[in-house]
Amino acid sequence: MLSIFVSANLFGQWNFSISTSQEYNNNPFHYPDQTSSFISSLNLGIEHEIKSFGLGYYGNYSNFNNMTDRNFYWHQFGFWNATNNLMFGLYVEQRINQLEYEYFDYSNYNAYLKHKASADGFTFLTQAAFTLTSYDQLKDLNNWMGSIGTSINKSFESKTTIIGGVNFNYKNYYETNLDTTETMMMNSRRFSYTESN
C-alpha cells in the first residue's frame, strides 16, 4: 500500500490535512467469485480550535478501479471540548454509496463524556457514550448503543504502568424483527447485552 500525507497548521488555530493511499486487494468484498481491484482513497481533514473547544470536518472518498459501482464517500463533522479533567464531544457521520449500493447508506450520531481524576498516584478515567446508527433502507439494522466504563492506572518509577478497567455496552436494534433471545446469544461472545423490540 502506498500512502501520501500532507498536514499544515494554518493561521495558528486551523489545521488542514490531506492524504491519499493506493492498495491492491484480490477480493475486497469477499465475493464467492474472486474479484480483484486497485483501491484509491483520498482523505481530507479540517480542524479549528478555540481555546478548549474544537470543530472538525473529515472526509474520505474510496474508488475501486474494477468495481466502480462500489465507490463510496464517507464524511464526519464533530465538535469537542477538552480540559485537564473533562472531555466531551459530539460526532455526526454519513456514508453515501453509488446508486446500486445505496442501501448501505447510513447516518451515525455519537456523543461521549470522559472525566479524569487523580489521587495517591492513581489516575481514574470514567467515560460514557451514546451512539445512534440509522440506515436509509436497511431498517432492521437501525440501532442505538449506550456504553459506560471506568479504568484505573498506576505508573511506577521503573517505567511500568498497571492498567485495569471495566466497560459495559448495551445495544438495541429498535426496528428489527429478530427474536430477542437470538440477538442476545449473538452478542454474548462480546460481553454485550442486546435487546430488540
Per-residue pLDDT tens over the stretch 89-98: 999 999 999 9
For residue 192, what pLDDT is reported?
Answer: 44
Answer yes or no: do 58 and 110 share one domain. no
When the pLDDT of each residue in the chain is averaged and rounded to a whole number, the result is: 87
Which residues lie across from 81 on neighbouring strands?
A: 53, 88
How many domains does the chain divide into?
2
Q: Which of 84, 91, 168, 141 is nearest to 118 (CA)?
A: 84
47 alpha-carbon distance from chain centroid: 17
Length of the chain: 197
pLDDT tens digits, 144-172: 999 999 999 999 889 899 999 999 999 99
Asked if the structure places residue 127 within a domain, the reply is yes
Q: Which of 55, 75, 95 is the last residue of a domain?
A: 75
The reported pTM is 0.76
Q: How confident is the model at residue 181 (pLDDT cuts 50, 70, 90)?
A: very low
Handedness of CA 188, 192, 195, 196 (dihedral sign): negative
For residue 13, what pLDDT is reported?
Answer: 85
Answer yes or no: do 71 and 109 share one domain. no
Residue 189 confidence (pLDDT) above 60: no
DSSP annotation string for 8-23: EEETTTEEEEEEEEEE
Answer yes or no: do 126 and 46 share one domain. no
